């Protein structure tokens, strides 16, 4: 199919342009900070790969982003743009922490580890799910824009977390920042690679990626794509608005809630006010960067995490380049992705009505579309 | 065609223009002269090159070869903006007005002048309206205007931008007969002011009604040009296709029970006349035509029958592979959601659906194969997902089905977005009407729109065949001929009510026309006339 190949070719050119501009901007930032770009690059690579611990850090960072991004696939595919993962992580973490403490207290501190894991996992998922169903209900019942409601609910969740850490889950110990007691040792996720913080949550990402790879070929996935572009046809397929909004937002909420539990039980061992750490927003970015494809999302999540870890290495290697350079690069990358996505939607078709463009060339519309493409 | 000196100052002339898309020639050595103060009809089948020629004239596409002049000076617009500056503007089939904005605001949006304030823009448009003797609300959001007024609005905006040559791409495609008459009157008064109008159309009777000059294209070639007066539609049709296909003789069909019934249906919509206690029964084995001026409630009735819009009272029953009944209820939002669920139930009971706007039903980002098989992804549709195996191998079945409906190219792996509009319509028909199982009922709104005569005839025959196989077929259209060509009886809607129900033998143009205009069937006035719809 020539049309597809032409599209692919131009997509590669665009992608290459984005990569080149990122390298140029990053290099310029390093030079401007008064450091040698090559030294900076070396620091970046070392920050990611110089020890098993650092590799583990990359994996640990990629897990929450990956889970959030993977579970956002259905919602984004259906055009339900939920940006509430941040708040859902927070509520999931609160629920999970409370559940772990409650179960542990009920069994007088002798709860077996698997029970605590299950309690944390289920409670986290329930918390995240409930937090997602609220905006879904608002969207279905009163047509409240889900972008707005999920975004604002993030602040509500953050406030609730602050209140929680000062009141019913606050630790008795004197601490500088509000936090909960440390979880019982049995509740922590065991590490997957000895000597690192890489925990069993990594396997969950792999499982989710496989699940979504299979799901992509399912009828449900097709229904969501149809829902996004052809609502009436979707109704004939049984994909009503309420069903679609509830189910897709619930999936993303469950995923984010589980992430909340993983961050508490696998990384911090206690509930901190920084539990979500903007992972929810990174998840959306990674889902888009990975083009809603599971493999692409896993790769993008690793890349995002490596960038953060590597920037720390760069900071210590050069001494002058701040690690926040990673955020700048992520921002530029997102702009690039947005450009590529916008290009793929073919803005030319918006200016000139899409249908008449090929309407009078019955014999070989592909060629016409290609010609259109070449001029665009 | 003689051209007076002052007219020749603005005549647009194209000489031996060709346009190729890759190896495909859409236009081959076509010449046309557009005179000021005249309506120039441009007719031809789908794919004849009408729109391509229009786009070349309007600067949207550069010609591959050939030259154009404007008032004797060379005219080779680089883009649409340059063509506009030189006074040549095209009104596309899909109107470009922004629905949320009024006409004045739309004009401000598209206006090429850097500084125009709202007040002067408004007075300019008002003056243009006055000149063209058109009355359109300048300050209401254009989405609240009727389709014909939006059309006129678009023309007025183009005129206000200084257009002296207007290219109208199928402006009558979605207008009723009365609205078409109104539009033509306005076009005539524009001509009196010296405006040149190129009218692209499928409808041959319109050529006789309004055109001064005529160019007929066929397969990218110009087969006729000259004066339009004195030509009969049948002659033009012969020029276009060689011969007008005859309707297949209708076999007598047994009329069965009422498969699809609407009883005392009341429904509301913001876009169409509300339904006012509509009763309609479509029997197995019959084709019922649904006629009416645009906005008389046909859209809403079909949406209710298809299960998209729940009636606020009354019932809809489909006696298909199972019996589905929708009963009206008051709870709006919840009912709307349940109404959504009923659309899939109705589909599962064998209701085929061809909507007025094919973009509601064809998914451009999916391949032709996926579009054909889209219902296999229906919720809980596992059981009927796989078509009954008849020894046919799955790989060739979609290609054969595409070929049967003459979808070009019939390549199942192609994205639907790559098809022309007419071929997307055929794809839709292939999915809804070409299944292995005969649907129990068919709802089709303008099923042959955008199709050339041959393809349209094939779809009509398919509809009649389905009826012969026991389907209850309801065909709605703005195009009276489309309805008359297939229907056994014709139901006319006006103001959200059914005002006439005529067997085809009694459905003369006069009687239908009166009913569509909301007039009583004969000279005796009816005691209660439905209210005139808002203009």
Residue B501's SS3 state is: strand
Q: What integer pLDDT is reported at residue A373 of this predicted model?
A: 43
Q: Which residues contact A357 (CB under 8 A, 6 or more apart)?
A: A349, A368, A369, A372
Dist. CA B529–CA B535, nearest whole Å: 17
Backbone angles phi, psi at A269, to 5 degrees: 60, 10
Picking from A285, A276, A37, A251, the residue whose alpha carbon sits closest to that of residue A133 is: A251
Residue B152's SS3 state is: helix
**Strand ranges across the sheet with B24-34:** B24-34, B12-21, B65-70, B73-74
Over residues B414-433, mean pLDDT? 89
Q: What integer pLDDT is reported at residue B512 of this predicted model?
A: 78
> Between B117 and A62, where is the model more confident?
A62
B192 touches chain A (CB under 8 A): no
Let me know the angle formed at the C-alpha of B87 by B86 and B89, rounded to the nearest 5 degrees. 120
- Out of A30-39, A343-352, B217-226, pick the least confident: A343-352
Q: What integer pLDDT is reported at residue B529 of this predicted model?
A: 43
What's the Rg (C-alpha) of chain A?
23
Q: Please, which residues 327-356 of chain B have a Cβ atom closer than 8 Å to chain A?
A: 333, 337, 340-341, 343-344, 346-347, 353, 355
Contact A364 B22 (CB under 8 A): yes
Over residues B55-77, mean pLDDT? 90
Q: Which residues contact B93 (CB under 8 A, 6 or more apart)?
A: A353, A355, A356, B169, B170, B171, B173
How far, in Å, are A218, A308, B359 from residue A223 at the CA level? 9, 37, 16
Pick from B421, B423, B450 the residue to mutate for testing the A interface (most A CBs within 10 Å). Answer: B421
Contact B418 A364 (CB under 8 A): no
Contacting residues of A for B341, CB less than 8 Å apart: 238, 240
pLDDT at B9 over 70: no
Picking from B214, B180, B247, B241, the residue whose alpha carbon sits closest to that of residue B479 is: B180
User: A76: distance to nearest CA of chain B, Å?
Assistant: 16
Q: What integer pLDDT is reported at residue B57 of this predicted model?
A: 92
Over residues B131-140, mean pLDDT? 80
pLDDT at A363 over 70: no
Dist. CA B409–CA B415, nearest whole Å: 11
B110 touches chain A (CB under 8 A): no
Contacting residues of A for B453, CB less than 8 Å apart: none
Tell me what ipTM this predicted complex has. 0.77
In this structure, the number of other CB atoms found within 10 A of the CB of residue B256 comes to 14
Dist. CA B327–CA B311, nearest whole Å: 7
Contact A222 B355 (CB under 8 A): no
**Contact criterion met (CB below 8 Å) for B377 and A222:** yes
> Between B283 and B226, where is the model more confident?
B283
Contacting residues of B for A356, CB less than 8 Å apart: 51, 55, 92-94, 169, 421
Above pLDDT 70, what percent of chain A? 89
Picking from B76, B51, B44, the residue whose alpha carbon sits closest to that of residue B63 is: B76
**Contact criterion met (CB below 8 Å) for B316 and B305:** yes
Nearest to B355 among A232, A365, A369 (CB): A232
Pick from A236, A243, A244, A344 the residue to mutate for testing the B interface (most B CBs within 10 Å). Answer: A236
Dist. CA A116–CA A184, nearest whole Å: 9
Contacting residues of A for B93, CB less than 8 Å apart: 353, 355-356
Q: How confident is the model at residue A116 (pLDDT cuts 50, 70, 90)?
A: very high
Q: What integer pLDDT is reported at residue A122 of this predicted model?
A: 97
User: B466: distance to nearest CA of chain A, Å?
Assistant: 21
B357 touches chain A (CB under 8 A): no
Structure tokens at A21: 């501009």
Dist. CA A315–CA A309, nearest whole Å: 10
Q: What integer pLDDT is reported at residue B143 of this predicted model?
A: 81
Digit-coded pLDDT (tens) for B371-381: 999 998 887 65
> Between B231 and A199, where is the model more confident?
A199
If you average pLDDT over each of B106-115, B216-225, B364-373, which comes out highest? B364-373
B203 touches chain A (CB under 8 A): no
pLDDT at A354 over 50: no
Q: What integer pLDDT is reported at residue B113 of this predicted model?
A: 67
Digit-coded pLDDT (tens) for A330-344: 888 888 877 877 776
Dist. CA A20–CA A43, nearest whole Å: 20
pLDDT at B333 over 50: no
Q: How far is CA B169 from the centre of its chain?
A: 12
Dist. CA A306–CA A325, nearest whole Å: 13
How far separated are the first and last CA of chain A, in Å rounded? Answer: 19
Q: Which residues contact B434 (CB under 8 A, 6 or more apart)?
A: B401, B404, B405, B462
Q: How far is CA A60 from the centre of its chain?
A: 14
Nearest to B341 among A1, A240, A361 (CB): A240
Q: What integer pLDDT is reported at residue A1 of this predicted model?
A: 46
Residue B24's SS3 state is: strand
Over residues A38-57, mean pLDDT? 90
If you average pLDDT over each of A166-180, B201-215, B510-524, which comes out highest? A166-180
Over residues B37-64, mean pLDDT? 86
**Contact criterion met (CB below 8 Å) for A111 and A323:** no
Contacting residues of B for A1, CB less than 8 Å apart: 413-414
- How many residues in chain B? 535
pLDDT at B382 over 50: no
Digit-coded pLDDT (tens) for B261-311: 999 999 987 666 789 899 999 999 999 999 887 668 888 999 999 998 888
Dist. CA B440–CA B305, nearest whole Å: 13
Q: What integer pLDDT is reported at residue B436 of this predicted model?
A: 83
Partnered with residue B324 across adjacent β-strands are B318
Contact A367 B21 (CB under 8 A): yes
Digit-coded pLDDT (tens) for A259-298: 999 999 999 999 999 998 889 989 998 998 888 899 999 9
> Between A347 and A73, where is the model more confident?
A73
Q: What integer pLDDT is reported at residue A237 of this predicted model?
A: 92
- Out of A13-27, A156-170, B49-63, B103-117, pick the least confident: B103-117
Structure tokens at A172: 């008795």
**Contact criterion met (CB below 8 Å) for B265 and B316:** yes
In this structure, the number of other CB atoms found within 10 A of the CB of residue B386 comes to 11
B366 touches chain A (CB under 8 A): yes
Residue A313's SS3 state is: helix
Dist. CA B468–CA B445, nearest whole Å: 20
Q: Please, which residues 404-423 of chain B have a Cβ atom closer than 8 Å to chain A?
A: 408-409, 413-415, 417-423
Dist. CA B175–CA B143, nearest whole Å: 16
pLDDT at A352 over 90: no
Nearest to B421 among A239, A359, A364 (CB): A359
The per-residue b/e assignment along B218-243, b for 16 or more CB within 10 angstroms, e otherwise, is bbbebebbeebeebeeeebbebbbee
Q: What integer pLDDT is reported at residue A252 of this predicted model?
A: 97
> Between B382 and A241, where is the model more confident?
A241
> Between B332 and B37, where is the model more confident?
B37
Over residues A26-39, mean pLDDT? 89
Q: Is the pTM of this model over 0.90?
A: no
Q: How confident is the model at residue B332 (pLDDT cuts 50, 70, 90)?
A: very low
B360 touches chain A (CB under 8 A): yes
pLDDT at B355 over 80: yes
- The residue written with tokens 């906005």 in the block is B295
Q: What integer pLDDT is reported at residue B114 of this predicted model?
A: 67
- How many residues in chain A? 376
Q: What integer pLDDT is reported at residue B223 of this predicted model?
A: 80
Dist. CA B199–CA B169, nearest whole Å: 7
User: A214: distance to nearest CA of chain B, Å?
Assistant: 15
CB contacts < 8 A, A to B, total 160
Task: Compute the mean pLDDT over every residue in chain A, rounded to the nearest whole number.
Answer: 86
How far, in Å, are A368, B239, B394, B421, B423 from residue A359 at the CA level? 10, 21, 30, 5, 9
Nearest to A360 among B48, B340, B343 (CB): B48
Above pLDDT 90, what percent of chain B? 24
Dist. CA B438–CA B460, nearest whole Å: 15
Structure tokens at A92: 């999931």
Burial bucket for residue B456 (CB in 10 Å: 0-12, 13-18, 19+)? buried
Over residues A160-170, mean pLDDT? 93
Structure tokens at A62: 């990629």
């Amino acid at each position: 199919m020539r049309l597809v190949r032409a599209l692919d070719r131009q997509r590669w050119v665009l992608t290459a342009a984005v990569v080149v501009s990122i390298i140029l901007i990053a290099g310029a930032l390093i030079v401007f900070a008064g450091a040698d770009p090559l030294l900076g690059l070396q620091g970046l690579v070392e920050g990611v790969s110089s020890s098993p611990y650092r590799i583990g850090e990359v994996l640990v960072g990629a897990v929450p982003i990956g889970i959030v991004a993977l579970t956002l696939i259905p919602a984004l595919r259906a055009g339900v743009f939920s940006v509430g993962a941040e708040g859902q992580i927070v509520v999931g973490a609160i629920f999970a922490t409370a559940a772990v403490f409650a179960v542990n207290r009920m069994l007088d501190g002798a709860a077996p580890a698997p029970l605590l894991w299950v309690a944390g996992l289920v409670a986290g998922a329930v918390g995240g799910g409930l937090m997602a169903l609220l905006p879904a209900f608002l969207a279905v019942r009163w047509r409240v824009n889900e972008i707005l409601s999920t975004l604002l609910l993030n602040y509500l969740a953050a406030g609730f977390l602050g209140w929680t850490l000062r009141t019913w889950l606050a630790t008795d110990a004197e601490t500088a920042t509000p936090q909960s007691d440390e979880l019982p040792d049995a509740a922590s996720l065991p590490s997957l690679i000895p000597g690192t913080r890489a925990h069993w949550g990594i396997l969950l990402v792999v499982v989710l990626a496989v699940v979504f790879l299979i799901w992509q070929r399912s009828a449900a996935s097709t229904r969501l794509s149809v829902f996004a572009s052809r609502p009436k046809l979707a109704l004939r397929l049984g994909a009503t608005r309420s069903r679609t909004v509830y189910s897709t937002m619930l999936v993303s909420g469950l995923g984010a809630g589980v992430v909340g539990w993983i961050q508490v039980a696998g990384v911090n061992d206690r509930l901190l006010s920084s539990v979500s750490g903007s992972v929810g927003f990174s998840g959306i970015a990674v889902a888009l960067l990975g083009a809603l494809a599971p493999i692409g999302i896993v790769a993008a999540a690793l890349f995002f995490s490596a960038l953060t870890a590597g920037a720390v290495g760069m900071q210590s290697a050069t001494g002058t380049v701040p690690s926040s350079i990673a955020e700048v690069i992520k921002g530029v990358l997102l702009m690039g992705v947005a450009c590529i996505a916008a290009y793929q939607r073919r803005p030319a078709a918006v200016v000139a009505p899409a249908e008449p463009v090929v309407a009078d060339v019955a014999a070989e519309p592909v060629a016409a579309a290609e010609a259109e493409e070449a001029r665009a | 065609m003689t051209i007076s000196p002052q007219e020749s100052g603005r005549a647009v002339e194209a000489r031996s223009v060709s346009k190729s898309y890759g190896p495909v020639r859409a236009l081959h050595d076509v010449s046309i002269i557009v005179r000021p103060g005249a309506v120039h009809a441009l007719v031809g089948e789908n794919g004849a090159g009408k729109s391509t020629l229009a786009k070349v004239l309007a600067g949207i596409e550069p010609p591959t070869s050939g030259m154009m002049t404007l008032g004797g000076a060379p005219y080779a617009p680089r883009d649409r903006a340059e063509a506009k500056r030189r006074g040549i503007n095209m009104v596309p089939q899909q109107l470009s007005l922004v629905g949320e904005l009024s006409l004045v605001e739309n004009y401000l949006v598209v206006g090429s002048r850097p500084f125009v304030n709202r007040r002067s823009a408004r007075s300019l448009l008002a003056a243009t309206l006055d000149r063209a003797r058109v009355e359109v609300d300048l300050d209401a959001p254009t989405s609240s205007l009727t389709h014909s007024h939006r059309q006129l609005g678009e023309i007025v905006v183009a005129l206000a931008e200084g257009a002296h040559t207007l290219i109208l791409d199928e402006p009558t495609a979605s207008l009723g007969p009365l609205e078409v008459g109104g539009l033509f009157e306005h076009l005539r008064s524009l001509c009196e002011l010296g405006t040149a109008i190129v009218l692209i159309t499928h409808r041959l009777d319109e050529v006789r009604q309004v055109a001064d000059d005529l160019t007929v294209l066929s397969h990218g070639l110009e087969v006729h040009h000259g004066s339009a007066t004195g030509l009969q539609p049948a002659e033009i049709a012969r020029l276009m296709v060689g011969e007008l296909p005859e309707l297949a003789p209708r076999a007598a069909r047994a009329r069965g029970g009422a498969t699809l019934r609407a009883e005392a249906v009341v429904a509301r919509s913001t876009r169409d006349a509300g339904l006012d206690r509509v009763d309609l029964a479509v029997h197995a084995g019959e084709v019922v035509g649904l006629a009416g001026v645009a906005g008389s409630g046909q859209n809403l009735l079909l949406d209710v029958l298809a299960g998209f819009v729940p009636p606020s009272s009354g019932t809809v029953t489909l006696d298909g592979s199972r019996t589905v009944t929708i009963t009206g209820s008051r709870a709006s939002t919840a009912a709307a959601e349940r109404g959504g669920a009923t659309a899939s139930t109705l589909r599962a009971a064998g209701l085929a659906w061809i909507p007025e706007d094919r973009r509601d039903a064809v998914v451009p980002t999916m391949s032709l194969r996926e579009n054909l098989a889209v219902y296999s992804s229906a919720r809980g549709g596992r059981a009927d997902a796989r078509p009954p195996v008849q020894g046919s191998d799955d790989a060739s079945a979609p290609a054969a089905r595409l070929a049967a409906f003459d979808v070009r190219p019939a390549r199942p792996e192609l994205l639907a977005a790559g098809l022309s509009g007419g071929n997307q319509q055929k794809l839709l028909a292939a999915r809804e009407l070409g299944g292995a199982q005969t649907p129990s009922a068919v709802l089709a709104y303008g099923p042959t729109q955008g199709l050339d005569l041959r393809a349209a005839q094939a779809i009509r025959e398919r509809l009649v065949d389905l009826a012969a196989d026991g389907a209850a077929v309801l065909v709605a259209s703005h195009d009276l001929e489309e309805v008359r060509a297939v229907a056994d009886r014709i139901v006319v809607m006006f103001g959200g009510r059914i005002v006439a129900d005529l067997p085809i033998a009694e459905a003369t143009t006069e009687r239908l026309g009166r009913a569509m205009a909301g007039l009583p069937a004969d000279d005796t006035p009816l005691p209660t006339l439905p209210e005139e719809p808002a203009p």
